[in-house]
Structure 1
Amino acid sequence: MAKNRPVPPADWNGRPRVNAPPPSATPPAQEPAEPKDRPARLTVGVVGAGRVGPALAASLQLAGHRPVAVSGVSDASRRRAATLLPDVPVVPPAEVLARAELVLLTVPDDALPGLVEGLAETGVVRPGQLLVHTSGRYGTGVLDPARRAGALPLALHPAMTFTGTSVDVQRLAGCSFGVTAPEELRLAAEALVIEMGGEPEWIEEEARPLYHAALALGANHLVTLVAQSMELLRSAGVGAPDRMLGPLLGAALDNALRSGDAALTGPVARGDAGTVAAHVSVLREHAPATVAGYLAMARTTADRALAHGLLKPELAEDLLVVLADGSSAADGESSR
């Protein structure tokens, strides 16, 4: 769960409020304010009702902010907006910016620069308006056209996979956010993330692509690997591959997060070249599309196991020969 940090006594520009008590002062005892009664509540708009935007806006609504507008083109995006943000009108992007003090730009990465430039050129960006994008790839530099128009830029990327349903709001509790913000807006960025139940993790502007590549490598490729594994288990006659894999993969993930490379097990880490050769052979026969991925991951696993002293050099030689032969055979088949 997120740590209970107090929201800093600052306005949304990150400046201390004039009437804020000094940090050492003891505030008078009072009943906790309801979300709607807390200070600095913002009207919230969403440009791009994909899987992320409505969930973040719904989470901010729980913290007392008020969603007032959302834009979405496809039927799916409109359904998501209706489910997570009922009674919030669906309007064009320019109208979202006209109505909202805090605007979430939740569009695909490749569409973000053009969207920001277009909004800035049409003059709909207002001075003092908080403009937040959720791209993992970009920092705040992509928001420069809007910043020149007076917007306050934040990059808040939730390190979470989204389904487009209400479960996403619950998953934000304790979720890390990759945050990039100008120094004067760091307090505002931290406050927003904490209000959504998340944990801010500060990422430098130039480190954003590396940060995002790391998350994609772990989360996106994991889905591909698990889906392939389930397909192979079904082909092998397993009736409930999800039930078989769940405890195994859960334990593997837990071990990896705790111990890193020391958690490596299996035929590659042991140097069982014969077993790996049998795997390659049966995969080539029954699921040739999986061979290239298996070989690539096996080579990477072997390299890491060697580097960490888990794979004995004398066993690695035969294993690497098998992997090289398998790769050559796969290349030969793909060139036919």
Structure 2
Amino acid sequence: MAEAKPGRLGIGVVGAGKVGAVLGAALRAAGHAVVGVSAVSAASRERAENLLPGVPVLAIPEVIERAELVLLAVPDDALPELVAGLAGTGAWQPGQLVVHTSGRHGTGVLAPARAMGAIPLAIHPAMTFTGLSLDLTRLTDCAFGVTADRPVLPIAQALVVEMGAEPVVIQERDRPLYHAALAHASNHLVTIAAQSAQLLAAAGAEQPDRLLGPLMRASLENALASGEAALTGPVARGDTGTVRVHREALMHYEVETGATDIRQAYEELARATAKRALARGLLKDGQATDILDILSPRTTPLNDQEDPQ
């Protein structure tokens, strides 16, 4: 454990979930002293023990009372009630730094703490967490969405830099859009991978991940490096016959299994891809029209027809 240095902060961690425990450990490694952590479930207590050994597990009011900086790592929906409830008990202290890790919220959610003299900061890691020590090394390749009042913005940025990550300033009004972008990229990627693996298993592949892994990794790397110039596949080529065959196969699968989400997701994403490819000149008007017609929701799926054969 790094020794506490002069000028360093006493940090209290509220919520020893996957994010809170890891960020607490990262700040501790930077020389700050973690003076207390709240952990309710058995999993969070074990996480606190592994990542923050020797740090006392305390009730939330005790954590706040001891801390110069309070790190609130709780679910987005729970944050407003928690902040307001603690304000109602007079827990927040003048000059205390109150930092939350929510992607959706900026500093406005911390208004009850601000009203009592606390200094609100929002830092959100654009990364998925396992809650294990390996997350600490991943922070060095991570960016944080940072929101704070201009006079204290350097404090929020410095905290992120101390954890080895990169601060990216997000305006208060833009936090929901920022978070939607990250959720769309991360969460829906998982859904697409799961849906594709399900189809491959149905097609007889015993290890779908062996087929998907190299393809998805290369596609992601190419997309990040080249943007939509990296787009390939039947939609980008205007290959209407292949798109039609795909849709028919997915309709048959839907009839056989009752799983409607895969066809619907394929159609919606293929329509979005066709529109974006048209806007960027990758498709001609006629090609895009043909593909969008094939994918039209007006076309009745097989399971809505009287005779799917």
Report the TM range for the smaller structure's normalisation. Answer: over 0.9
Which of 266, 272, 291 matches 1:294?
Answer: 266
- 1:312 and 2:280 matched: no
Q: Give the aligned length.
A: 300
Structure 1 distance, partners of 2:303, 2:164, is 48
The equivalent residue for 1:271 is 238
Structure 1 distance, partners of 2:32, 2:204, is 52
Structure 2 distance, partners of 1:331, 1:146, is 55
Structure 2 distance, partners of 1:285, 1:278, is 11
Any unmatched runs of 5+ in structure 2? none
Q: 1:106-141, CA deviations, whole angstroms, 9 ceiling, x for partnerless residues?
A: 111111111100111111111111110001111111
Which of 177, 188, 210 matches 2:177?
Answer: 210
Alpha-carbon deviation of 1:286? 2.3
Higher relative contact order (CA 8 A, sep 6+): 1
Report SS of the residue matched to 1:295.
helix
One-letter amino acid matched to 1:282: A
The equivalent residue for 1:12 is none
Q: Determine if contact 1:45/1:68 at 8 Å carries over to the other structure.
A: yes
Q: Determine if contact 1:134/1:155 at 8 Å carries over to the other structure.
A: yes
Report SS of the residue matched to 2:296.
helix
- 1:227 and 2:199 matched: no
Structure 2 distance, partners of 1:218, 1:234, is 24
Give the structure-1-normalised TM-score.
0.85
Q: Determine if contact 2:123/2:146 at 8 Å carries over to the other structure.
A: yes
Structure 1 distance, partners of 2:300, 2:11, is 55
Alpha-carbon deviation of 1:297? 0.4
Structure 1 distance, partners of 2:203, 2:64, is 54
Alpha-carbon deviation of 1:183? 1.4
Report SS of the residue matched to 1:172.
helix
* 1:108-147 aligned within 5 A: 108-147=75-114
Q: Determine if contact 1:295/1:326 at 8 Å carries over to the other structure.
A: no
Alpha-carbon deviation of 1:239? 2.5
Structure 1 distance, partners of 2:303, 2:39, is 44
Q: Determine if contact 1:117/1:146 at 8 Å carries over to the other structure.
A: yes
Overall identity of the aligned pairs, in %: 59
Q: Determine if contact 1:44/1:69 at 8 Å carries over to the other structure.
A: yes
Structure 1 distance, partners of 2:5, 2:141, is 22
Report SS of the residue matched to 1:49.
coil
- 1:243 and 2:215 matched: no
For the structure 1 residues 329 and 237, does the alpha-carbon distance in structure 2 shift closer, same or farther, using more than 3 Å as the test?
A: closer
Any unmatched runs of 5+ in structure 1? 1-33
Q: Determine if contact 1:47/1:70 at 8 Å carries over to the other structure.
A: yes
Report SS of the residue matched to 2:145.
strand
- 1:150 and 2:117 matched: yes
Structure 1 distance, partners of 2:303, 2:82, is 42
For the structure 1 residues 268 and 118, does the alpha-carbon distance in structure 2 shift closer, same or farther, using more than 3 Å as the test?
A: same
Q: 1:261-293, CA deviations, whole angstroms, 9 ceiling, x for partnerless residues?
A: 111111111111221121122222225331111
The equivalent residue for 2:19 is 52
Alpha-carbon deviation of 1:332? 4.7
Greater Cα offset, 308-317 or 173-182: 308-317
* 1:22-33 aligned within 5 A: none
Which of 36, 56, 67 matches 1:89?
Answer: 56
Alpha-carbon deviation of 1:59? 0.4
For the structure 1 residues 89 and 35, does the alpha-carbon distance in structure 2 shift closer, same or farther, using more than 3 Å as the test?
A: closer
For the structure 1 residues 327 and 147, does the alpha-carbon distance in structure 2 shift closer, same or farther, using more than 3 Å as the test?
A: farther
- 1:252 and 2:224 matched: no
Which of 76, 87, 101 matches 2:43?
Answer: 76
Greater Cα offset, 318-327 or 139-148: 318-327
Structure 2 distance, partners of 1:114, 1:210, is 22
Alpha-carbon deviation of 1:37? 5.3
Q: Determine if contact 2:252/2:302 at 8 Å carries over to the other structure.
A: no
Structure 1 distance, partners of 2:22, 2:119, is 22
One-letter amino acid matched to 1:64: G
For the structure 1 residues 35 and 48, does the alpha-carbon distance in structure 2 shift closer, same or farther, using more than 3 Å as the test?
A: closer
For the structure 1 residues 271 and 331, does the alpha-carbon distance in structure 2 shift closer, same or farther, using more than 3 Å as the test?
A: farther
